[in-house]
Structure 1
Amino acid sequence: MMNVYPPSLPSFQTERLFIRPPMKGDGDKLYESVQFSKQNLSTWLPWVNQMVSSSQAEDAVQYAHQQFIDLTDLRFHLFEKDTLSFVGSVGFHEIKWHVPRMEIGYWLDVRFQGKGYMFEAIQPLLSFAFHQLSVHRLELRCDPSNKKSRALAEKLGFSLEAILKENERATVTTGYADTCIYVLFHSTFTQNKSTFS
């Protein structure tokens, strides 16, 4: 059964960030951020090389907005409060409401990396997932060699459940890539909620 929350779209504020779903007009900022960060991001995110214009980015934004309303994919855009700069994105994907389970994915503009922004952004979104959406199981998947992503997963309280061998096509080289599966359960998050405050 699909969970519901108040009809107004959720937004969050942290010390340095404003976090909200994609909105019409975000395409220019999204495109500029992806282009600036392409060399860094394309190693892990194949879709980065497929975004070739601002208008295409705007189409993606409006599609993501509709997906959010339909509760089929829940993406959030991150903005720096002081400058209104586009910082990155966090999303809940591969949603199975009947469990309920979902995957969390994220990326940061390279100009904002190394400042703790993603850890700051994900904390209220974990509370949103487990408390408002009643998620039972939250997965985080990444390449075993993505040390930054793995470190963040562990800092957030996720546990490494498995490493799938050669289950994806490699994004940069030919051949195959492994995938780490990290998991955080509702019960674990609730028991350790002081960790995330």
Structure 2
Amino acid sequence: MGILTTLPQQIETERLIIRTARPGDGAVFNAAIHASMERLAPWLVWVTPPPTVEESEESCRLAHGRFLRNEDLMALVFRKECGSLVGGSGLHDADWKAGKFEIGYWGHAAFSGCGYITEAVRALADHALEKLGANRVFLTTDDRNTASWKVAERAGFQLEGMLRNERLNPAGHLRDTRVYARVA
């Protein structure tokens, strides 16, 4: 099979269904964010203030449009056995010429420690490198977000470096940013 030139609508692993966000997902997406605010708010600017169901629905609709244009994959991660939303991930800012994708992720607090997000991140990175012909899949995370960079390391990403005072965190303070990547 040759190299694919479109983002995947769905990827399955042993325990998960990883699929594009689509219209109608706003309520379940919103419920997961609200249930996980304490864990997400220190790291993710898009959860503060907490979005309304309507705003979450609009995010899913806009994300689906970007997916249809083959620009970005905002993925929701569901358990196969029961359909529970365990978090989100995605392949962002697709640069098809350079073969480069940024990966992002967040986890539902109720499923912390189960390995679902690591499994999803690994599957998306594998897909990008093996099926989409990516040369590089990378991610960035706040140096203080130990849980996030441990996911990256468990998913096979290598630390490339630290960008000191690189951006503001959600509290408005400068943060040091770890850069991780997997390359072909």
Fold-level match, TM-score > 0.5? yes
* Equivalent residue, structure 2, for 1:30: 29
Determine if the alignment matches structure 1 residue 59 to structure 2 residue 75: no
In structure 1, the residue corresponding to 2:48 is in which secondary structure?
helix
The answer to which of 102-111 and 148-157 deviates more is 148-157
For residues 128-143 of structure 1, the aligned pairs below 5 Å read 128-143=127-142
* Equivalent residue, structure 1, for 2:175: 177
Contact 2:21 2:64 in 1 (8 A): yes
* Equivalent residue, structure 2, for 1:76: 75
Contact 1:51 1:57 in 2 (8 A): no
> 1:44 and 1:100 mapped to 2: Cα distance?
27
* Equivalent residue, structure 2, for 1:97: 96
> 2:66 and 2:82 mapped to 1: Cα distance?
28
CA RMSD of aligned residues (A): 1.6
> 1:81 and 1:73 mapped to 2: Cα distance?
24
The answer to which of 110-119 and 95-104 deviates more is 95-104
For residues 125-164 of structure 1, the aligned pairs below 5 Å read 125-164=124-163
Partner amino acid for 1:166? N
Partner amino acid for 1:45? L
Q: Post-superposition shift, 1:62?
A: 0.7
Report which of the two has the higher share of helix. Answer: 1
Give aligned-pair identity as a percent: 32
Q: Which is bigger in relative contact order (C-alpha 8 A, separation at least 6)?
A: 2
Partner amino acid for 1:158? F
Contact 2:91 2:124 in 1 (8 A): no
Point out where structure 1 has 5 or more consecutive residues left out of the alignment. Answer: 187-197
* Equivalent residue, structure 1, for 2:5: 4
> 2:110 and 2:83 mapped to 1: Cα distance?
14
Larger Rg: 1
Point out where structure 2 has 5 or more consecutive residues left out of the alignment. Answer: none
Q: Post-superposition shift, 1:120?
A: 1.8
The answer to which of 177-186 and 11-20 deviates more is 11-20
> 1:80 and 1:37 mapped to 2: Cα distance?
17
Regions of 4+ moved over 4 Å: none
